[in-house]
Homo-oligomer: A and B are copies of this chain.
């Protein structure tokens, strides 16, 4: 009953997954990738694919799961590095941008999947975003930064925040990672978006009537 011996349990599997990410990173769209192309990129024989995935969508779904891990890691880092509230937005957006650069292909895949052709993958990504949004709401509650908002309004605010950041993602993916200036522009603009949203949230209740 010792199951942790496998020397390379999913070596090919990982090669296939990162082959997809590589291709996506090169500008290809996930929906246009075929099994043969992916196996070729992974340096594996086509039939090997079926040892690990039933089809491309299956592989995509498992990529979404890994994407979840990346996002969680990012969120943890954000929580550890944000000390005072006034720098909250700048710090968080900064961490987001640097993660997006470090895992470019992953986030590219995410951006694609939002309007992709597999409904399951769409739902998976959407679900990750929802999770992210509720966690953000929890944090804001804990930091006492949202005391005047009802749960519903806080949820909505966080949803809008997450959406805006996700949209900035597409901006970010549109410019080369080395273009420091453009990246910086996007970072600043995203911060301003979030500030605007939070100003709106701070003054929300009186308008709610």
Contact = CB atoms under 8 A, between A and B. Distances in A.
Interface of A: 27-29, 31-32, 108, 111-112, 114-117, 119, 122, 126, 156-157, 159-160, 163-164, 166-167, 170, 173-174, 189, 192-193, 195-204, 207
A167 to B, nearest CB: 5
18 contacts: A29-B32, A31-B32, A111-B114, A111-B115, A112-B115, A114-B170, A156-B192, A156-B196, A160-B164, A160-B193, A163-B193, A195-B207, A196-B197, A196-B204, A197-B200, A198-B200, A199-B203, A202-B203
A200 B196 CA distance: 5
Contact of A115 (B173, B193, B202): B173
A164 to B, nearest CB: 7
Given A115-B173, A200-B200, 20 more contacts: A27-B117, A28-B117, A29-B31, A29-B32, A29-B117, A31-B32, A108-B115, A115-B170, A156-B189, A157-B196, A159-B189, A163-B163, A166-B167, A167-B167, A196-B201, A197-B200, A198-B200, A199-B207, A200-B201, A200-B203
Contacts of A199: 199-200, 203-204, 207
Determine chain A's interface SS by DSSP, over half rule: helix
Contacts of A117: 27-29, 32
A179 to B, nearest CB: 14
Contacts of A115: 29, 108, 111-112, 114-115, 170, 173
Contacts of A200: 196-201, 203
Nearest to A206: B199
A32 B111 CA distance: 16
